Each structure stands twice: as structure tokens, then as C-alpha cells.
Amino acid sequence: MQHLMAFGDSDLDRAAHRRSNEQVRQVLPLHQGRILAADGRLALREADDPLLANAGSPIFLGLHDGRAVHARAITGDEPTLPAGTEFAELRAMMTTLSAAEGEMAATARALLNWHASHKFCAACGNASQMTDGGWRRTCPECGTHHFPRTDPVVIMLILRGNEALIGRSPAWREGFYSCLAGFVEPGETLEAAVRREVLEETAIPVGKVRYLQSQPWPFPSSLMMGCVGYATAGEITVDPVEIAHAFWISREQAMAAIAGHLPNIEMPAQGTIARDLIMRWIADDLE
């Protein structure tokens, strides 16, 4: 069974061999991390559009329908926008974009965030420069090359019979629950990260772990790697720093919560890998 998940596979041709010399033609403008959109779709502009007068260096995203597309961040105050367009939060529109649009928007947001936070060389401290169509930063002083980073994160549906483990962070709004998740540490496998995170956060030991699927998550730049794990015990003791509350939810309760029949439990939104994992579990489609 297929479920709607944002930023999934698409037919976007990243054309890496053309990054350093591709002429700028179509541009996806961003402002303070928000994407220029119209009616829930990307609003690409031509390279000479006056809207781009205060935009930064272009980043090559790839070829869409045979045409090169770049991203540029508009600096300063928000400019006057063409009628019918707006700078929209990507989270709010991720389920309305086509697969290719989602990949372009996620790539643009992640890369622009990386450039904004990595302006200086980590080797010598001097200012670095954007090169290779935005896919590298090079230090003119020591010659060190820096490449965009993606942070690996495991997100896991932990099962025990007809129940799944869900929890909520202290920072989340009341009533919102999701799968447990955490960053993979250096020298750690995905399976070990799943077991460690679940044990640290809920004291639940996990045995067998299987990888299922992944989702780029450009908030700011993670790769969510979805796994299913099987608990070997059921008594929950939460780490209050990490988890405000966690509990075992039955398949029937999860279905009711998704349908809006359990007002005290809000499940992950459509388009997220957490929602997809839960929906696959409900549909008995975890193989």
C-alpha cells in the first residue's frame, strides 16, 4: 500500500556534471527559508525577474522537464510579490507539491541553510566561497573544500503485539504524539541507534530491528531513516528531559486517532515519515 509522503522519489535529474557551468534560466526564490508558491505549487521565476534583484548566488538544483532550475535566497525585507504568489512555509505545502517540486524545494532549503551557517572555513577560519553551483564551499586561503552535510536520524515504530510505542517531546503541543526518533551517533549502526534511543528515552529494550524507508527532512537538513523494531519488554519509564509522556497505542486506537475520534491524541501530519510508518502498520504493510 502506498501512502502520501513528502520529498519522496522523483524524476528530478540532478545533473551533477553541469553544476559548475549551467546557465541560470529558471529560479526558485526563497526568503528567510520560505518558498515562493502559488496555489500550493512552486512559483518558479525567470532569471531576469525584478523579484530577484536582491537575491544571493544561484544554487543549481537540477533539470526539471529538461530545463535547468536554480534556487536563490532573497536578502533583506520581503519584496513586493507578483499577484497570487506568497512566500510559504514548506511544512505547510509539502503535501501539495509534486514529487519533483518537493525534491527541489527540500534541496533548496537544505542547501541555502547550510551556506548561511557555514560561511567560514573549519580548517583555518577564513571566509569560504560558494563553488560548484552551490554544492561546495572552497576556502581561498588554504584550499580546503567543504561539502553540504546531512544529519542521519532514525525514526522508529516500536511494536509489541497489537500495540505500537508513541511519545511526545516536552516542547510539543499538548496531545501531539509521534514515533520516537533520534540522531545517529558517530560509529553507530542504524539498528544500534534505534535500540539506544528507545532504551534511553523509555527504558524499553528492543530486539529485532529492520530498516524500511527514508525521507529527506530539510528542517534544517536531516535524513530520516524509518525503522520498525520489536520490544522485548513493555514497562515504560520515560526520561523527562527527552519525553514528556509515552504509551502503547493499539492499532484500533491509532485508527480512531487518525480519524479524529480521540480528541486527546493528535497523530503525525500527512506527508511525514512518522505518519507513513503508522499507516503502514495499521494496513499490515510493514514487509
Check if the beta carbon of residue 236 is closer than 8 Å to that of residue 158: no
pLDDT tens track of the chain, all 287 residues?
344 789 977 878 999 999 999 999 999 999 999 999 999 999 999 999 999 999 999 999 999 999 999 999 999 999 999 999 999 999 999 999 999 999 999 999 999 999 999 999 999 999 999 999 999 999 999 999 999 999 999 999 999 999 999 999 999 999 999 999 999 999 999 999 999 999 999 999 999 999 999 999 999 999 999 999 999 999 999 999 999 999 999 999 999 999 999 999 999 999 999 999 999 999 999 97
Structural domains present in the chain: 1-114 (3.90.79), 118-149 (no CATH), 151-282 (3.90.79.10)
Please report, in angstroms and rounded to a whole number, the separation of the first and last CA atoms in the chain: 11
Alpha carbons 236 and 233: distance in angstroms, whole number? 9
Predicted pLDDT at 246: 98
